[in-house]
Amino acid sequence: MAPEARIKVFLKTSATALCAGAVALSSFSLGAEAARRHYRSHHHHLPELPAAPPRALPYPQLPLPLEIPGAQYLPLAWADVKGWGDDNHLAAYKTFRASCRPINAQTTGAPEPKALGASLGEPCRVAKSLELTDDARAKTFFEENFAPLRISRLGEPDGFVTGYYEPVLEGSRTQTDVYNVPVYRRPSNLFVRGYKQDSVSLPNKGPVYRKIGRRKLVPYYDRAEIEDGKIAGRGLEIAWLKDPTDLLFAQIQGSARIKFDDGGTVRLNYDAYNGYPYTAVGRILIERGIIPKEEMSMQKIREWMAQTPDGAKELRRQNRSYIFFREVNLSDKEEAVGAQGIPLTAGRSIAVDKSLHVYGTPFFIEGELPIDSERAKTPFHRLMIAQDTGSAIIGPARADLYFGAGQDAGRVSGRLRHAMHFVMLVPKSLDPTTRGARLPVPDPRPSEKIAKLFPQTEPAKDKPPAELQSKSETVAVAGPVPLPVPRPVIEPVQEPRRPVKNRSHRQQ
């Protein structure tokens, strides 16, 4: 066989092997070029063939639309946001502006690895220069600086909301026969990897350890062990309460006000937890058939626990998670401090999943809630600001609505477990519609000629190689396109040298 013919057969064999899938078309030119170079290294007398031009990357390095793990979202027009025009936008603007204080105070550093990242900085800089006093201008501010995005968990049509509040409890500074339930501050032997033991803020997720000596770490005590006195007598008591149910609900809410007989008050905020996941006691009562799901509320749980003290003790211990508090310097007129580090706003602040969302993000929440009574369907369409978090708040469209302090706020928040529509307000710099429009379309489909040369087929069994089959003998591939097979190694054919007479050689 002539050398040129061998080249053609060799290149065709290599191309067939490399082009077993459409994804391998770009690799063919490179593989063919490598084959040419390999062959020409053994056949110096052949003419040089032109090299295939390098194939450009299919997509340039452009910012992609935002991505929130486990979420599905749909860009909307403001006119399509149901109830948007009926809200008090000025109240929402004031709450958002409060969140902007810590955002504007942040020094430049690595952006948060979340969908919004540091994008709230620009709307916050605009808000800093605006002292708005009317609702229309506040509404315009949000419409000019944000884009609405309907969001929910993947595969679900709506989000889900619950409520929380700040309990106001009776207590004592010292232990008595009446007040004998301790409220503990964070123990000094509680340790979280990556944090100092005296860190101001510890995570509310992940493992927590107890140090034994200098090196040994073991899981921290669970609720049952702490209730049985494992850390008693170490001077960790901030105050004493009457009822362990009061302590449980203060821990679930993450804050509390304790009023003393002498008229004094101590304000408590979440400081740390013991490393065990939160278990909802209400869900256990539903699963055991004690309280029907449609009747479940914090008030129902309280009533059952008061009527069944032994059962209440066992139920509490099903939730092995235990919260430690710290005292905060707040007056009775101020609201509890959220995880963002600023006082919350009743009716405007929400707790969100901190692993997905950035504090300060506005969420418009719309639907019906039992605000006025247990069976009421009060229209709720309100712009809320993410300023807090909680270990039970998990998912892209999951929020805990803050209703303030006291019994009335507790009654309202205790009966909320409802599906609602979520619209996240995304800064214009991250508008997925705008970003998506800038992305190039995929490369065009191969021409008909290329498709015929490299069909997505595989040879039938007991058939000759693909290069010897006729077009009608190819068998269509069912299912996904196969990956390219490794290129076969073909050794060059060494032809015997012919003796040459009367030729002199000179080596350099």
pLDDT at residue 98 in the model: 96
- Report the alpha-carbon distance of residue 3 to residue 39 in Å, rounded: 10
CA torsion sign for 28, 31, 33, 39 is negative
Ramachandran bin of 479, using left for φ above 0, alpha for ψ from -120 to 50, beta for the remaining angles: left
Give exposure, 311-330, as e/b (b: 16+ Cβ within 10 Å): ebeebbbebbbbbbbeeeeb
Chain Cα centroid distance, residue 177: 47
Number of H helices, E strands in the chain: 13, 19
For residues 359 and 127, what is the distance between their CA atoms, to the nearest angstrom? Answer: 16
Residue 364 · residue 148 · CB < 8 Å: yes
- List strand residue ranges (DSSP E) for 260-375, in order: 265-273, 323-328, 349-352, 362-369
CB atoms near residue 211 (< 10 Å): 15
What string of DSSP letters covers 38-59? HHHTT-TTSPPPPPPPPPPPSS
CA distance 11 to 35: 7
Please return the burial class of 190, using the count of CB atoms within 10 Å of its CB with bins 0-12, 13-18 and 19+. Answer: buried
- What are the residue ranges in the chain where pLDDT is below 50? 1-36, 38-40, 42-44, 46, 49, 55, 465-478, 503-508
Distance CA 305, CA 281 (A): 11
| Of the candidates 228, 186, 178, 230, the residue with the CA atom closest to the CA atom of residue 208 | 186
Name residue, tokens 């580090």: 341
Question: H-helix or E-strand containing 12?
Answer: helix 3-18
Secondary structure string (H, E, C) spanning 363-401: EEEEEEECCCCCCCCEEEEEEEEEEEECCCCCCCCEEEE
**Phi-psi bin for 395: left (phi > 0), alpha (psi -120 to 50), beta?**
left
Residue of 306, 303, 304, 297 whose CA lies nearest to 242: 306
DSSP 113-146: SSSSTTTTHHHHHHHHT----SHHHHHHHHHHHE
The DSSP line for 401-436 is: EEEEESHHHHHHHHT-EEEEEEEEEEEGGG-HHHHH
The full length of the chain comes to 508
What angle (nearest 5°) sits at the alpha carbon of residue 193, between those of residues 188 and 194? 105
Please check whether residue 76 is in contact with residue 422, taking contact to mean a CB–CB distance below 8 angstroms: no
CA–CA dist 405, 403 (Å, integer): 7
- For residue 439, what are its two tokens? 């992305």
Using N-to-C axis directions, what is the helix angle for 244-253 and 309-318, rounded to 10°?
30
pLDDT at 19: 39
The alpha carbon dihedral of 165, 169, 172, 175 has a sign of negative
Asked if 387 contacts 362 with a C-beta cutoff of 8 angstroms, the reply is no
420-429 burial, b if ≥16 CB within 10 A, otherwise e?
Answer: bbbbbbbbeb
Beta-bridge partner residues of 149: 75, 424
What pLDDT is stored for residue 494 in this prediction? 67
Give the separation between CA 382 and CA 389, rounded to whole angstroms: 19
Pairing of strands 362-369, 378-389: antiparallel
Matching residue, tokens 């619209």: 423
Q: So what's the pLDDT on residue 27?
A: 38
pLDDT, tens digit, 9 for 90 and up, residues 308-328: 999 999 999 999 999 999 999
Half-sphere exposure of 140 (CA within 13 A, CB side): 7
- Kindly give the interhelix angle for 3-18 and 25-40, rounded to the nearest 10 degrees: 150
- Separation of alpha carbons 104 and 106, rounded Å: 6
Q: What is the pLDDT of residue 132?
A: 92
Residue keyed to tokens 């031009």: 53
Place of tokens 């860009």: 75
How many CA atoms are closer than 13 Å to the CA of 490, on its beta-carbon side? 19
The pLDDT assigned to 442 comes to 65
> How confident is the model at residue 284, as a pLDDT?
95
What 3 state SS string does 192-210 have?
A: CCCCCCCCCCCCCCCCCEE
Which pLDDT does position 468 carry in this prediction? 44
